[in-house]
Amino acid sequence: MNSVLANLKIDCTNCRLQNLCLPRGLSKQDIQSLSDLVQNDTLVHKGDFIYRQGDDFYGLIAINAGSAKMLSTDSEGNQDLTNLVLPGELIGFDGVSTNTHQCSAIALETVNYCKINPDKLDVLCNQFPSLLRELFSHSCEAINESQRNPSHKNQSANKKLAQFLLTLSNRLMSRGFSSTEFNLTLNRQDLALHLSLTPETVSRLFSKLHKQKIISVSGKNIQITNLEKLKIVASE
């Protein structure tokens, strides 16, 4: 056994997600400062809440391993699955402005995450403008994503699903996973919620894409067998 490796603490300075997550664009010195403020390696399991809508601001969270869904319920009780969260992505912005979380974050499988506590965030704000600038940049990016993401607009259901699969494929690839074969951690119900469709429609569309030999579907296991055709479907 390699005791040196075994005892090596994983933190921001040696994290494999450094270029995707918060350290992105920071100096070595700043990454070290950040690392000292980050609480690493919290583990939660499938179905666990990372935080709940209505909770006091819990902190900014970087998903390190696993995936999560962002769920929000409006005053009428309607649910909306706003996002699927992958490793290297930040969540928690929904609690910054009002100090109360506007969404729930729920683990879709075993999830390992890092966290900057609210009090540490204040330290950041006062001592490390460059980090705060980076946070600001991250949050602005999130605005762009959510406003420009075409899947939330009324298009054909077919197109929405194809676009979702393409976007997911790209996001997985940039995280070092296979872009052509993956396990969809969202179930049909959740995916339907996310795309504003019914589970029946999602199921039918999966079958249709399968018959067209564009993807291969077996439950949650998805293979993209004809990327070009999938792109054509996504652009109608």
Interface with DNA includes 3 (CB under 7 A)? no
**Binding residue (CB under 7 A) for DNA from 72, 73, 149, 158:** 158
Q: Residue numbers of the site for a copy of itself (CB under 8 A)?
A: 70, 72, 74, 76, 78, 80, 82-83, 93-94, 96-98, 102-103, 125-127, 129-130, 132-133, 135-144, 146-148, 150, 152-154, 196-197, 235
Contact flags string 213-232 toward DNA, x per CB under 7 A: ----xxxx------------
Interface with DNA includes 207 (CB under 7 A)? yes
Q: What does 148 interact with, of DNA, a copy of itself, none (CB < 5 to 8 A by kind)?
A: a copy of itself
Contact flags string 186-205 toward DNA, x per CB under 7 A: -xxx------xxxxxxxxx-
Q: Based on CB atoms, which residue is closest to a copy of itself, 70 or 108?
A: 70
Interface with DNA includes 128 (CB under 7 A)? no
* Nearest distance in Å: CB 70, DNA: 18
> What backbone torsions phi and psi does residue 66 show, to the nearest 5 degrees?
90, -175
Interface with DNA includes 157 (CB under 7 A)? yes
Interface with DNA includes 156 (CB under 7 A)? yes
Q: What does 3 interact with, of a copy of itself, DNA, none (CB < 5 to 8 A by kind)?
A: none
Write b or e for each residue in 69-105: b if 16 or more Cβ atoms lie within 10 A of its Cβ, otherwise e: bbbbeeeeeeeebbbbbbbbbbbbbbbbeeeebbbbb
Q: What does 2 interact with, of a copy of itself, DNA, none (CB < 5 to 8 A by kind)?
A: none
Q: Based on CB atoms, which residue is closest to DNA, 3 or 154?
A: 154
**Binding residue (CB under 7 A) for DNA from 101, 206, 209, 214:** 206
CA distance 43 to 50: 10
> What backbone torsions phi and psi does residue 120 show, to the nearest 5 degrees?
-70, -30
Q: Based on CB atoms, which residue is closest to DNA, 14 or 156?
A: 156
Only one residue has tokens 């683990």, namely 107
CA nearest neighbour of 69 among 175, 159, 184, 181: 184
